[in-house]
């Protein structure tokens, strides 16, 4: 749509600007302040420059958390995106089942995150949980609080359970927007199922899939509550992702300087990756002429 | 036509298997929670059973009869509602501006808004705590509602902008020619046209405020404590009260399950930020 230039539109944006400035800019300034200062208590601060940043960049702890975070986000993206597309392709075409599937699929998305954690904490317990009990009955030695591998599997399966529906819903919306004529043309050409997917469905889904990947990347990179409830970041530090580590540092040990420096770098990484996605996304939008 | 029917017939069983397996995978953990909430603690710890043999509603009665418990739900609903109203109200004019006009710095502003949706709550937990403590809002509903605008306002702007783009601009112009003022046009003509968009935006604000815990827990202690944080009460010296924990969990799922029915046909469009 052709937009007209009108500087007065700023007045319409003003309320958002004021509100977000209050809830984002002020707190961010606090973080920046802490990241370049040190304190001996009594609210007396002095300038330390980039010392905290250097300390954090040299700390194995942050790199280890970052490595775990990247591996985690990569694994869940690799599982959830293809699985979500597969589910979307198998959605019923019409009738009451569409509504039933949509509602049931959306259900995990609306559960408070710590309850998601609680559900899986219970579900995986060997004594009272269905999953843990079944695995134990099958003779598999499964214990997510002691064994690193089991803890990772539990956290990943939990995330797949929690968020695959998001990808599926988006892919489904993309599929629904394909006109029937495309399929008819493909049938006349006797295109194979794979060709239909590769040359009709996938290109039409690209836009929404980019949104899905962006959302899943962002949210998995900030994940805190769910793994914290299930594993508490353990065993040891095995599932201590960036946010868990940061909260430990800031609210647990009250190491404000390092935590602030950590926060800024953390935020910048997310910003950078999201900016790349955003650019790709807007370019796709433009190409489709939206 | 015959070919079409044959194809559907061939594909039908496979369709069901993938979907059924997936839904089963989704429902099993939830079923297990509901199952546990209807058992006594002795039965939960005493043996393994796929359904409650000794059906009891005592766990629910305990939650619904104790203000320390049910006030958690009330608190959550209060701040979630405040946040939803606030977010949608400020997002409406902004989304209109983004969908209709080009102005200085619009693209940068739009991306800056999006960055707030990307901000990890863990980064904001401590600064929020200090900010709201210093202005005397700690442990109030409005503090949590304001904190959640951090990610909900950008989301609402995005979703509404997506819906508003779909409304042809000629409608605006005709209304202005007919002598409508901007506020009157917006409320009388434009709002009804994007009613479903407003509904979807409100739903998503509700949802993300409802599921968030890190910020709402950090910003409250007693008076505005959300239900999700209240659930830690089940840990006591005598061990976990599993039954009550499960019942509290089930009760947090219900509100979402109720509202989802009304937006089921728009939920994907909402997640796509109005862009499908």
Digit-coded pLDDT (tens) for B33-53:
999 899 888 888 877 778 888
Q: Is residue B44 part of a domain?
A: no
By the CB < 8 Å criterion, does A187 face chain B?
Answer: yes
Same domain, B118 and B240: yes
pLDDT at A76: 95
Report the domain count for chain B. 2
Phi then psi for residue B208, to 5 deg, are -70, -30
Residue of B nearest to A209 (CA): B272
List beta partners, residue B101: A4
pLDDT at A40: 65
Complex ipTM tops 0.90: no
List beta partners, residue A39: A45
Over range B147-153, report the average pLDDT. 91
Q: Sort out which chain B residues have CB atoms less than 8 A from A164's CB and list them.
A: 22
Q: What are the angstrom distances between the C-alpha of A234 and each of A64, A162, A167, A239?
A: 13, 20, 28, 5
Same domain, B135 and B194: yes
pLDDT at B5: 43
At B47, list the tokens.
Answer: 């043996």
Find the range with the poorest average confidence among A28-37, B139-148, B227-236. Answer: B227-236
Residue A61 distance to chain B (closest CA, Å) = 17
A273/A29 Cα distance (integer angstroms) = 22
Q: Is residue B53 part of a domain?
A: no
Residues 39-98 of A with CB under 8 A from B: 86-87, 90-92
DSSP A65-131: HHHHHHHHHHHHHHHHHHHHHHHHHTS--SSHHHHHHHHHHHGGGGS-HHHHHHHHHHHT-TTT-HH
- A2 Cβ partners below 8 Å, 6+ apart? B169
Same domain, B29 and B73: no
B273: left (phi over 0), alpha (psi -120 to 50) or beta: left
Residue of A nearest to B256 (CA): A110
Find the range with the poorest average confidence among A63-72, A256-265, B136-145, B180-189. Answer: A256-265
Q: Is residue B42 part of a domain?
A: no
B130/B116 Cα distance (integer angstroms) = 19
pLDDT at B145: 93
pLDDT at B158: 86
Same domain, B224 and B155: yes
Q: Inter-chain contact A118–B44, Cβ cutoff 8 Å?
A: no
pLDDT at B85: 95
List beta partners, residue A38: A46
Same domain, B11 and B90: no
Same domain, B13 and B119: no
Question: Could you name the CATH architecture of A67-287?
Answer: Orthogonal Bundle (1.10)
pLDDT at B237: 59
Same domain, B227 and B110: yes
Torsion (CA) B252, B255, B258, B262 in degrees, nearest 10: -130
Q: Where are the domains of chain A?
A: 67-287
Same domain, B242 and B126: yes
Q: Are A170 and A253 in contact (CB under 8 A)?
A: no
Q: What is the pLDDT of residues B246-260, one digit of tens each?
A: 998 999 888 888 888
Comparing CB atoms, the residue among B146, B168, B267 nearest residue A106 is B267
CATH number, domain at B169?
1.10.3720.10
Q: What is the pLDDT of residues B95-120, one digit of tens each?
A: 999 988 888 888 888 888 888 888 88
- B2 pLDDT exceeds 60? no
Full residue range of the structural domain in which residue B28 is found: 2-37
- B12 pLDDT exceeds 70? no
All residue ranges of chain A with pLDDT < 70 are: 1-2, 40-44, 288-290
Same domain, B134 and B252: yes
* C-beta atoms surrounding B92 within 10 Å: 24
Q: Sort out which chain B residues have CB atoms less than 8 A from A119's CB and list them.
A: 29-30, 32-33, 249
pLDDT at B93: 93
């Amino acid at each position: 749509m052709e937009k007209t230039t009108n500087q007065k539109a700023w007045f319409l944006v003003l309320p958002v600007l004021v509100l977000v400035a209050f809830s984002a800019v002020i707190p961010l300034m606090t973080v920046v302040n802490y990241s370049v200062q040190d304190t001996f208590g009594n609210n007396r601060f002095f300038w330390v420059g980039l010392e905290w940043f250097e300390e954090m960049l040299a700390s194995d702890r942050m790199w280890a958390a970052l490595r775990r975070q990247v591996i985690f986000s990569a694994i869940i993206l690799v599982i959830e995106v293809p699985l979500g597309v597969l589910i979307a392709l198998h959605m019923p075409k019409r009738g009451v089942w569409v509504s039933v599937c949509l509602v049931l699929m959306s259900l995990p998305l609306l559960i408070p995150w710590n309850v998601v954690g609680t559900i899986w904490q219970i579900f995986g317990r060997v004594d009272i949980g269905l999953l843990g009990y079944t695995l134990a009955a099958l003779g598999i030695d499964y214990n997510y609080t002691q064994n690193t591998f089991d803890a990772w599997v539990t956290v990943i399966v939990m995330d797949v359970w929690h968020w695959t529906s998001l990808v599926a819903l988006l892919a489904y919306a993309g599929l629904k927007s394909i006109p029937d004529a495309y399929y008819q043309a493909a049938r006349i050409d006797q295109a194979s199922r794979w060709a239909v997917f590769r040359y009709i469905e996938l290109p039409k889904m690209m836009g929404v899939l980019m949104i899905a990947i962006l959302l899943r990347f962002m949210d998995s990179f900030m994940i805190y509550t769910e793994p914290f409830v299930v594993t508490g970041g353990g065993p040891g530090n095995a599932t201590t992702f960036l946010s868990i580590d940061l909260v430990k540092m800031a609210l647990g040990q009250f190491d404000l300087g390092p935590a602030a420096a950590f926060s800024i770098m953390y935020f910048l990484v997310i910003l950078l990756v999201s900016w790349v996605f955003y650019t790709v996304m807007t370019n796709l939008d433009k190409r489709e002429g939206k | 036509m015959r070919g079409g029917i044959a194809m559907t017939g061939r594909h039908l069983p496979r369709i069901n298997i993938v979907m059924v397996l997936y839904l089963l995978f989704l429902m099993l953990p939830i079923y297990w929670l509901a199952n546990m909430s209807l058992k006594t603690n002795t039965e939960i710890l005493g043996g393994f059973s796929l359904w409650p043999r000794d059906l009891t509603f005592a766990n629910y009665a305990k939650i619904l009869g104790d203000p320390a418990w049910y006030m958690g739900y009330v608190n959550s609903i209060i701040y979630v509602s405040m946040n939803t109203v606030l977010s949608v109200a400020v997002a409406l004019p902004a989304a209109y501006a983004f969908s209709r006009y080009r102005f200085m710095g619009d693209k940068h502003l739009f991306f800056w808004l999006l960055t707030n949706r990307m901000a990890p709550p863990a980064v904001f937990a401590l600064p929020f705590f200090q900010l709201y403590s210093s202005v005397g809002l700690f442990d109030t509903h409005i503090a949590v509602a304001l904190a959640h605008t951090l990610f909900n306002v950008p989301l609402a702007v995005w979703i509404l902008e997506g819906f508003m783009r779909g409304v042809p601009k000629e409608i605006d112009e005709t209304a202005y020619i007919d002598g409508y003022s901007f506020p009157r046009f917006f409320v009388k003509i434009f709002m009804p046209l994007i009613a479903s968009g407003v509904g979807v935006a409100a739903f998503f604000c509700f949802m993300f405020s409802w599921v968030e815990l890190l910020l709402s827990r950090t910003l409250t202690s007693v008076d505005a404590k959300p239900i999700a944080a209240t659930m830690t009460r089940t840990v006591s010296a005598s061990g976990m009260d599993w039954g009550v924990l499960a019942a509290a969990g089930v009760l947090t799922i219900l509100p979402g399950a109720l509202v989802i029915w009304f937006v089921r046909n728009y939920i994907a469009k909402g997640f796509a930020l109005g862009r499908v």
